[in-house]
Amino acid sequence: MTYQGKPVPGAQLTFHREFDDEREGAFAMTDAHGEFQGSTNDTTGVLPGEYHVTVIHPRIRLPKRYADVESSPLKLTVNGEQTELEFPVELAD
């Protein structure tokens, strides 16, 4: 995850599964390079499917829309076993 070309460490991402309430979503936290790997409670990775993604950061104030599953513009479709992702998130000043 980057902002103005710079990594955003310590962001918490939640992948909310769309169209399937019975299967769990996934979560991730960005590292010092802004990189992350999604996982569930049982496995590493994000299962195939469609997701709405929310993002929060404990110290950086993000626009509220990114923290709400109903208003977050971030969506993800996972078709295979591994997907490389980058979410350009505009942080509030």
3-state secondary structure 59-85: CCCCCHHHHCCCCCCCEEEECCCCCCC
Residue 15, class by beta-carbon neighbours within 10 Å (0-12 exposed, 13-18 middle, 19+ buried)?
buried
* Domain-embedded: residue 58: yes
Look at residue 2 in the predicted model and tell me its pLDDT: 79
Backbone angles phi, psi at 30, to 5 degrees: -75, 145
User: Closest by alpha carbon to 47, among 28, 69, 25, 19?
Assistant: 25
The count of structural domains within the chain is 1
Look at residue 88 in the predicted model and tell me its pLDDT: 66
* Domain-embedded: residue 86: no
Flag whether pLDDT at 93 surpasses 60: no
* Domain-embedded: residue 89: no
Distance between start and end Cα atoms, the chain: 17
* Domain-embedded: residue 38: yes
* Domain-embedded: residue 91: no
Look at residue 21 in the predicted model and tell me its pLDDT: 64
Domain that holds residue 24: 2-78
* Domain-embedded: residue 7: yes
This prediction's pTM = 0.82
- Section 78-90 average pLDDT: 66
Q: Per-residue pLDDT tens for 13-71?
A: 999 988 766 667 899 999 999 888 888 888 788 888 889 999 999 988 788 888 999 99
